[in-house]
Chains A and B, each alone.
Chain A
Amino acid sequence: MAQAAPVIQPDLELTYEIPEQVTLLTDAWRRIRRNRLALVGGVIIVLLFVVALISIVWTPYPTWLQAVGPTYQPPSAAHPLGLDQAGRDILSRIMGGALITIQVGIGSAVILCLIGIPLGLLAGFYRGQVDTTISFFINIWYGIPDLLVALILVFVLSDALHLIPRGVLVIVIAFSLTRWMDVARLVRGQALALREREFVEAARMSGARDAALLFRHIFPNALGPIIVQATFAIPAAVLFEAFLSFLGLGLPPPTPSWGAMASDGYHGMDFAPHIVLAPTIALSITLMAFNWLGDGLRDAFDPRMRR
């Protein structure tokens, strides 16, 4: 090519079939549809949402109403899941518990990301002193026994200082404050890798501001792993709430928390196992569903799995 060949002016109004638009999300969706277990998880989660929404407007009995029948009554036609030690309808309480579970799960994932993503982006993008400081805190936080700190946080924030009433919010905050490191560390790693990519360099050369580099170029490209990580944070938060409530440190009665319900029924386990079984089975199914979906998403967003 000693001499550049003459170029024929292409027809600018040329029309032809434009290939189908494939975005990160549609691509991931296409792959997750083929993953049966993830799909089952997804369906269960959708059901959970539906039940939770229904429970806002309607449950067979009010979740708090005691003595709708004999206490410890096993499942029957009128009460498909039976009654608990205070004579409350367990089906109603399971439905109400679904709402609590979703609030805790989604709320935690959101707050977790709000803390972890900015810290991770800053650490990975600016490196140096900023990274050293943030990484230092990440490592320190990892060393702290999270359950203990969360317990203390719940106690201090709502019981000692009365800053936040004992409820879903305080649990979500306590959980997020002790578990933000996974997301931060993941995002930091992504940012470190992405900042060296040529398109980031190219954007920098065309005079893009740091904020534009971070939010237009680095963050969207790290979105896949972030979604996966957040999906795995949801069951952890749900389990955390159930655990706290089981210990009696979570949501105050008569909130229909699954963990509290299991705790209530546990004294009558030998003669009325349905009181414990209903919330624990509901909890197990929910946790599995989120884990399956998380696994499926991880595979779907993994570029090496591409077709």
Chain B
Amino acid sequence: MQDLRVQFDVSGGPITAVDGISFEIDRGEIVGIVGESGSGKTMTALSLLRLIPEPGKITSGRILYGEKDVVEMTDEEIREFRGNEVAMIFQDPMTSLNPVLRVGFQIEEAMAAHSRFTRKQAHDRVVPMLQRVRIPAAKDRVRDYPHQFSGGMRQRGMIAMGVSNEPSLLIADEPTTALDVTVQASIIELLRDLSRELRAAVILITHNMALVASLCNRVIVMYAGRIVEQGPTRAIFKNPQHPYTWSLLRSMPRVDEVEKERLISIRGLPPDLGRMPPGCKFHPRCKFRVDRCLTEEPPLGEVGPGQDARCWVLMKNIENPEAEALK
């Protein structure tokens, strides 16, 4: 994905939801995209499938999948691409299954939409798929309707549908937010195993840092439609360089540091995408800003091995950031 830009043409002029995002992802890799609501995470993922809602448009950039550019594909190519090469798993499994069709049939349909399997093969693969996502008594369950499934089972059903065509990229858009904690853990475990078995890349969109820490190899932190920091999970969690990343991590309660101190909250709200502040987009909420931040937007620069950050200051240059932040 190179220099992707998604704009929404609304009455008040174009609004840029995703501005110049570039990243790449390899087979078997699990990448987490984190950020607040409205930071462009979901738009980035949707643009991979060219399914940005009206009146949004990809105005520049390329999305290369192997040799092919998704932006340039014909309608039939993109249809074949969706589901077959890239599958998406949604946040809310309650509403993502068609309530009037049997679960098994919906999974069969997902396979039948593509040329990889014949109708017969698709039919025979349904039960194994359900077993693969660990739905108990799968043989009996294929004939159930979605409302007979629990939340966790529906999410498993969605995952079964997603991986049924053996895609090489799986996009999970907050796959666990609608589920309770014990179910979350098993879904995460399932995603990890499947990505390993299928040798598929996974993009995990979330604002749950703990989830990222337990699952991802690499993290991309987004803010206001931009990547503000990216790098290997370990590096990001140990040495976050962008103040935004740092604050995100410090805003999380940690069991091992209970008595230590107050949580650090990020004051204010993310900027209105229609009226972006000049300079660094994070400066109005940043506790470490310098004058330069107000006028000039920093580039995404290398700050460590494989780690980039979009900041003039960088956290490593600040002594005792906690005290500074709480001032």
Using CB atoms and an 8 Å cutoff, list the residues of chain A in contact with chain B.
1-7, 9-16, 18-19, 21-24, 197-209, 212, 216-217, 220-221, 223
Contacts and interface: CB of A to CB of B under 8 A. Distances in A.
B71 to A, nearest CB: 17
A189 to B, nearest CB: 18
A23 B146 CA distance: 11
Contacts of B29: none
A55 B273 CA distance: 73
B113 A208 contact: yes
B137 A13 contact: yes
A53 B96 CA distance: 46
- The B interface, classified by DSSP as helix, strand, loop or mixed, is helix
B83 A14 contact: no
Contacts of A1: 181, 184-185, 210-211, 214
B225 to A, nearest CB: 22
Most buried by A among B100, B185, B189: B100
Contacts of A2: 210, 213-214, 255
28 contacts: A1-B210, A1-B214, A4-B188, A4-B192, A4-B214, A7-B134, A12-B136, A12-B138, A23-B100, A198-B92, A199-B96, A199-B99, A201-B51, A203-B98, A203-B106, A203-B109, A205-B51, A205-B82, A205-B83, A206-B113, A206-B165, A207-B84, A209-B113, A212-B109, A216-B109, A220-B98, A220-B100, A221-B98
Interface residues of B, number: 55
Contacts of B215: 4
A202 B79 contact: no
A202 B97 CA distance: 8
Most buried by A among B98, B143, B188: B98
B297 interface: no
Nearest to B182: A5
Nearest to A224: B100
Given A4-B214, A197-B95, A204 B51 contact: yes
A209 B114 CA distance: 9
A18 B138 CA distance: 11
B257 interface: no
A223 B101 CA distance: 13
Contact of A207 (B113, B137, B181, B211): B113
Given A3-B214, A21-B145, A220-B100, A202 B182 contact: no
B89 to A, nearest CB: 9
